Amino acid sequence: MAFEGLSERLENSFKKLRAKGKLTEADVKEAMREVRLALLEADVNYKVAKEFTNKVTERAIGDDVMENLTPGQMVIKIVNEELTELMGGTESRLSIAKHPPTVLMMCGLQGSGKTTHSGKLALKLKKDGHRPLLVACDVYRPAAIKQLQVVGSQIDVPVFEMGTINPVNIAEEAVKHAKDHGYDYVIIDTAGRLHIDEALMEELQNIRSTVHPNEILLVIDAMTGQDAVNVAKSFNESLGIDGVILTKLDGDTRGGAALSVRAVTGKPIKFVGTGEKLENLEVFHPARMASRILGMGDVLSFIEKAEMALDEKKAAELEKKLAKNKFDFNDLLDQFEQIERMGSLKDTIKMIPGIGKQIKDEDIDERAFDRLRCIIYSMTKQERANPEIINPSRKRRIAAGSGTSIEDVNKLMTQFKQMQKMVKQVGGRKGPKVSKKMRR
Ligand code: GDP
């Protein structure tokens, strides 16, 4: 998860501040020196880190903070506000064409996650009720068209391709095709290179001046830190971008790119990629991200993730079963799947305020579900649907089949019984309603 080290270091400096009843100017300056070091260590651009801490110091000293009853808390509040501001203040939405289709042009270096994120965006738009069309304009990498087609077929979104002819013509034809066939979004997956070069920029400029995209979205890899920020700067200078999609935030432990992109390029991060699955795309909310960095959790994103992962049909089926007080191992398997669709277990749990800070990564076993699933898969169909028939000899067989121990099976059975009890209580109350909003 991004910002791990940063959160910890900030937490340490804030602890010292909180402990003080009264703050002096020197206390604030010392804390900000620590904050600056923490930011630099998180790979935040040097100038950005310096300006940030200067701003916070100025506000903290100027705002009568020192007279406040809880001055430490006030400084943290200022840091929170300034972090939010640093990342763009409010979230930036995609612009929409007056006359459809809205054209989104995806660009970026090879391997940054362009194709994956073209798919993620298409899926998001589709879930929001739109009809997106994906367009294969990476005509140089032999497997690129195929890769986009695979992504398209996974989410049931059509892919427009014309082989390896001039990408400018493909983009132009794709927009016509979208108009003729009622697609309201066109997502153009352009070619990347290992490094920025003139030929690439020229091609992108040609596509831009031919199809006039509503949004030029630059895809950058968070794990490459300041390099990603430099790439963003160059693309913005040569091509002009409207926003950034910051990918692989799940694998980035430092978070420097997320914090510097806006200040260095003047362009906002619009989305972040948080995993390899096509569901793992989040709208970038600066305020929520700031709270996450400061270890205050992010309950809104947690709820949104849960909503995204919710499979309507399965939820309705579960609702019916709960109403009849029925909950078996098949339902439990479904629940595992839904939780896993929310992305990495670690990242998801850390969004819950108050919990994130208490739980260390090593406490979370990402593979716990696999083990439980293995046990459940070793049950017969009949046992899964009627857990009450699982007697000691069946347990022995299940443990042997799943390569676990009788204790493991017993533990699962006990937990499962507790769940059933809870389900009975909920079911008894006429069955829980999954709200319309949750189903979206
Ligand atoms: P492209 O060359 O820019 O089109 O990049 P791809 O879309 O092919 O992605 C490159 C690799 O990064 C693939 O293995 C993707 O699965 C992976 N990837 C893309 N986005 C993410 C993300 O948000 N998180 C993680 N962990 N991996 C990602």
Distance of alpha carbon 118 from alpha carbon 219, whole angstroms: 10
Distance of alpha carbon 277 from alpha carbon 287, whole angstroms: 25
Cβ of 247 below 6 Å from ligand 1: yes
pLDDT band with cut points at 50, 70 and 90 for residue 418? confident
Residues of the chain with CATH 3.40.50.300: 102-295
Note the pLDDT of residue 7.
85
Cβ of 420 below 6 Å from ligand 1: no
Distance of alpha carbon 223 from alpha carbon 248, whole angstroms: 7
277-292 average pLDDT score: 91
Backbone angles phi, psi at 137, to 5 degrees: -110, 5
Note the pLDDT of residue 399.
93
Note the pLDDT of residue 139.
93
Cβ of 100 below 6 Å from ligand 1: no
Cβ of 115 below 6 Å from ligand 1: yes
Which of 193, 276, 278 gets mutated to test ligand 1 (max ligand atoms within 8 A of its CB)?
276
- Give the predicted TM-score (pTM) of the model: 0.74
pLDDT band with cut points at 50, 70 and 90 for residue 401? very high
204 Cβ contact partners less than 8 Å away, ≥ 6 residues apart: 105, 107, 190, 239
Note the pLDDT of residue 437.
41
Query: Does the pLDDT at position 264 exceed 90?
Result: yes
Secondary structure element (H or E) that encloses residue 211, with its range:
helix 198-211
pLDDT band with cut points at 50, 70 and 90 for residue 77? confident
Residues of the chain with CATH 1.10.260.30: 304-439
Residues of the chain with CATH 1.20.120.140: 4-86
Cβ of 114 below 6 Å from ligand 1: yes
- CA-CA-CA-CA torsion for 133, 147, 254, 81, nearest 10 degrees? 0
Query: Does the pLDDT at position 61 exceed 90?
Result: no
- State the amino acid at position 15 in one-letter form: K
Distance of alpha carbon 137 from alpha carbon 327, whole angstroms: 48
Assigned token pair, 112: 């940054």
Distance of alpha carbon 258 from alpha carbon 245, whole angstroms: 10
103-110 average pLDDT score: 97
Cβ of 72 below 6 Å from ligand 1: no
Note the pLDDT of residue 363.
64
151-157 average pLDDT score: 97
Q: Is the dihedral angle over the CA atoms 53, 59, 61, 66 positive or is it negative?
A: negative
Query: Does the pLDDT at position 101 exceed 90?
Result: yes
Query: Does the pLDDT at position 4 exceed 90?
Result: no
- State the amino acid at position 4 in one-letter form: E
410-419 average pLDDT score: 86
| DSSP secondary structure code for residue 101 in this structure | P
359-377 average pLDDT score: 76
Q: What is the distance in angstroms between the CA of the first residue and the CA of the last residue of the chain? A: 28
Q: Report which ligand 1 atom has the smallest distance to the Cα of 189.
A: 4
- CATH topology (fold) of 4-86: Four Helix Bundle (Hemerythrin (Met), subunit A) (1.20.120)
Peptide bond preceding 101: is omega within 30 degrees of 0, i.e. cis? yes
Distance of alpha carbon 138 from alpha carbon 192, whole angstroms: 7
Q: Report which ligand 1 atom has the smallest distance to the Cα of 119.
A: 7
Note the pLDDT of residue 434.
41
pLDDT band with cut points at 50, 70 and 90 for residue 425? low
pLDDT band with cut points at 50, 70 and 90 for residue 233? very high
How many angstroms separate the Cα of 184 from the Cα of each of 22, 122, 201?
Answer: 58, 11, 27
User: 17 near 31, Cβ under 8 Å?
Assistant: yes
Q: Report which ligand 1 atom has the smallest distance to the Cα of 116.
A: 7
pLDDT band with cut points at 50, 70 and 90 for residue 242? very high
List, in sequence order, the alpha helices (H) in 42-91.
46-62, 71-86
Cβ of 190 below 6 Å from ligand 1: no
- State the amino acid at position 289 in one-letter form: M
User: 243 near 218, Cβ under 8 Å?
Assistant: yes
24-37 average pLDDT score: 91
If you measure from the C-alpha of residue 427 to the centroid of ligand 1, how many angstroms do you get, rounded to a whole number?
42
Q: Is the dihedral angle over the CA atoms 396, 402, 407, 413 positive or is it negative?
A: negative
252-275 average pLDDT score: 93
Strands 102-108 and 215-221: parallel
- CA-CA-CA-CA torsion for 189, 155, 1, 241, nearest 10 degrees? 30
Taking CA atoms only, the protein residue closest to ligand 1 atom 27 is 276
59-78 average pLDDT score: 78
Any idea what the Cα angle at residue 7 is, between residues 3 and 13, rounded to 5°?
145
By mean pLDDT, which of 138-147, 281-290, 339-348, 358-367 is the weakest?
358-367
271-288 average pLDDT score: 94
Q: What is the CATH number of domain 304-439?
A: 1.10.260.30
Taking CA atoms only, the protein residue closest to ligand 1 atom 2 is 111
Distance of alpha carbon 206 from alpha carbon 249, whole angstroms: 31
Q: Report which ligand 1 atom has the smallest distance to the Cα of 120.
A: 20
In 10 A of CB 377, how many CB atoms? 13
393-418 average pLDDT score: 91
pLDDT band with cut points at 50, 70 and 90 for residue 202? very high
Cβ of 119 below 6 Å from ligand 1: no
Secondary structure element (H or E) that encloses residue 103, with its range:
strand 102-108
Token pair 């199809």 is found at 211
Q: What is the CATH number of domain 102-295?
A: 3.40.50.300
